[in-house]
Amino acid sequence: MDEFMDGLWDDVGSMDSMIDGLVDDVIDSVIEGMVDDLYNYDPGYRRTVMVVDDEETSRAMLGNILDQEYDVIYAQDGRDALYQIGLHKERLSLILLDLMMPDLDGFGVLNALRANEDFRRIPVIVLTAEKEAEVRSLQQGAVDFLAKPFDLPEIILARVRRSIELAEDTNIIKATENDSLTGLYTREFFFEYGHRFDYRHPAMQTDAIVLNFNRFHMINELYGRNFGDQILFRIADGIRDVLMEKEGLACRYDADTYYLYIEHCEDYQALMDRINAGMSDLLQVPEVRLRMGVFSDNFRSDTFEGRFDKALQACNSLRRKRISSFAVYTNDMHEHELFWAKLLEDFELAIEDKQFKVLYQPKYDITGEKPVISSAEALISWVHPEFGRVSPGEFIPLFEENGLIQRLDHYVWSEAAAQVRQWKDAYGVTVPVSVNVSRVDVYDPHIVEFFTEVVEKNELDPQEYRLEVTESAYTDNSQQIIEVVERLRAKGFKVEMDDFGSGYSSLNMLTLMPLDALKLDMIFVRNLTADSKEMRMVKLVIEIADFLGVPVIAEGVENEEQYHLLKDAGCQIVQGYYFSRPILPDELGRLAAKEQGIEIKTDEINIEDLELKDIEALFI
C-alpha cells in the first residue's frame, strides 16, 4: 500500500509540474487576462468552500479553521450536499467531503460530481480515517485527502489553498486550450502537445499538414460570416474523423488555417477527400476550395515548428493551381515563398510608382465586310524593379487571397478611364474600354459612385467605359448584385457578362439578369471546329443572345478557321491573337486612328511605352 501511495503522489507531483510548466511557458499572458473574468479575483475576494459531514462537531471544527480565509457553506449529508452544490455551483471553489455518511455516502457524491459537466470542475478533498478509502477516493476524482483526526489548522489551510490553486490553473488551461468555434486545440497548446507527441513517439513517421481556404475573406464578404463559420466547423469535423483513424492532433491555427500532425499517410488525396466529405453541399460554391500542404519528415530532421513552416510553403504553392488540391514540400518552394512575400511587400510602392502597366486588347466588330475595332479590354502586367516583368498569373491570385485585389482594380479602372480620354485628345478617336469587375467589387457599397466619379473626372460618356462582370457573380442569384448592376446601367454604363458558359446559369435566370452583352468563355473557342460540340454550343449561345437582344463577344480567337466559323454563326464581336495581342496604349490609339483615316505625327508617340512593348508577350 505504501508503495502504491508513493507512486500515486509521484504522479500527482508530475501533474503539478506539467500544469506549472504550461502556465509559465505557454499561457502566461492568457492567464493574466482571464483570471479576473473567470474567478473575479481581487485582493479582497473570498472564495467559497463547502464542508460536507454528518457530524456537527467536525463541521464546526473545519468551519472555524476555514472562515479565516473563505466563506463556508455546510451540508449535513450527501443528498443535502448535492442540493447545495446545485444552488452554489458558480461560486464554489472547493468541497471538503466526508466519506462515511448514511444514505448517500461520499463515494456516491464523487460519482455524481464526476457525471455532471457543471460540477466536475469543483475540486474535492475527502475526509476519512481509512487508508483504503483514501486510495479509492483519489481514483474516483478527489484531488487530496485529510485524515481524521485532523492535522494542525495551518496544514489544513495550506492543503485547501494549494488544491484551489491547482484546480483554478487547470480550469483556465481547459478554457484556453480549445478554439471556441471548432473545438480543436488553439495554436499554443497544439505546439506544446506536439513536442510531447514527438517525445512519446520517437520512432513514428509523421506528416505535418497545413489546411487553408483559398480566398476565405471573399467567402465572408460574399456570403456572410455565419456561412464562413459553418465551413470552418465542417472542416474541423472532417479533421476529427481523420484523428479517429490516425494517431495525432490538430488545431485551428488562425482564422482560415488548420494544422494537422498525424502518423504518416500514403494517400493524401484520400485524406483530402475524407476531410472534404462533410462539405459536399458547400463545395458547389465556387469560392469554397480547401488546399493542403504536406511536409513529411520521417527522420525528425527539422524542428516541430520548422516542419509546419515547410508545410505552409507547400500549401501556398497552390495559389495559382485550380485543379490540384494538395502539394508535398519540395526545396524550391522556399524560393517561391520569398518571391510572393516580396510581391506583397512591394505592392503599395508599385501602385505609387505606376509599376503596373495597363495593356489593351482590341475587340473587333465582324458584322461588316471588314473587321473594325469596336472597343478594347484593359489587361495588366507588373514591371517590377527587381524581378522584371511579372505575369498577372503570378500576382493576381496572390492579391485576391490577401485582399489587395480591390485596390489593384481601382488602379486599373482609373488608368483605363484616363487612357480613353487621352486617345480622344491625342488622336481624335473614341475607343470604349471594358474593365473587369470581380465578385468582391460588386459588393462594394461605393462601386457606383466610384465609376461615376471616374468617368466624370475624365469627361467621358458612361457608354465609353464598359464593365465585365463574371458569370459566377450573377449565378449567386443575389438580389444585391442585380440591384448594383441595374444602378450602373441606369447611369449609362454597359455591363457585359464575362466567361459565359463557365458557370451554372439557367435559362430562367438569364431572363432576370441585367446585361448588355454575353462574352463567351474562351474554352468554347479553343477547340472550335465545324462539327464539334463546341460549335453547337456556340450556336446555342448566339440564339440565346438573339432572344435576349444582346450581342455575343468571343474571346480567344487564334486562327482564321475560328474567325470564319464565328462570323458565319452570327457572332458580332471577337478578340484574340488572330487579330491582336494585348498592345500598348499608344499603339492601339494609332491603330484606331489609322482605321479612321486620321494621320498621326511621330512626335505624338509615347517613347516610354515603346520601350515596354515586349510586355504583351506575357499574355501569350
Task: Give the chain's mean pLDDT.
Answer: 83
The pLDDT value given to residue 383: 93
d(CA 412, CA 286): 25
Please give the residue that has the higher pLDDT: either 203 or 471.
Answer: 203
Q: Where are the beta strands (DSSP E) in 112-244?
A: 124-128, 144-147, 206-213
- Sign of CA pseudo-dihedral 125, 74, 84, 174: negative
Residue 337: pLDDT band by 50, 70, 90 thresholds? confident
Residue with cell 461588316: 368
- For residue range 421-477, what is the model confidence (pLDDT) as tens digits? 999 999 999 999 999 998 778 878 899 999 999 999 999 999 999 999 876 666 554
The pLDDT value given to residue 431: 95
Domain ranges of the chain: 2-176, 187-330, 356-619
User: CATH topology for 356-619?
Assistant: TIM Barrel (3.20.20)
Mean pLDDT of 35-61: 73
Residue 9: pLDDT band by 50, 70, 90 thresholds? very low
Strand order in the sheet with 71-75: 71-75, 48-52, 92-98, 124-128, 144-147
- For residue range 83-139, what is the model confidence (pLDDT) as tens digits? 999 999 888 999 999 999 988 999 999 999 988 888 888 999 999 878 778 888 888
Q: Where are the beta strands (DSSP E) in 30-188?
A: 48-52, 71-75, 92-98, 124-128, 144-147
Please give the residue that has the higher pLDDT: either 450 or 530.
Answer: 450
Question: Which one, of 422, 428, 447, 427, lies nearest residue 436 by Cα?
Answer: 447
Judged against a pLDDT cut of 80, whether residue 369 lies above it is answered with: yes
d(CA 433, CA 463): 9
Judged against a pLDDT cut of 90, whether residue 563 lies above it is answered with: yes
Q: Does domain 2-176 have CATH number 3.40.50.2300?
A: yes
- For residue range 515-526, what is the model confidence (pLDDT) as tens digits? 899 998 888 888
The pLDDT value given to residue 283: 57
Judged against a pLDDT cut of 70, whether residue 332 lies above it is answered with: yes
Architecture of domain 187-330: 2-Layer Sandwich (3.30)
d(CA 339, CA 333): 10
Read off the C-alpha cell for 122.
469543483
Judged against a pLDDT cut of 80, whether residue 2 lies above it is answered with: no
The pLDDT value given to residue 6: 47
pTM for the complete prediction? 0.59
The pLDDT value given to residue 69: 92
The helix or strand, by DSSP H or E, that contains position 433, with its residue range, turns out to be strand 433-437
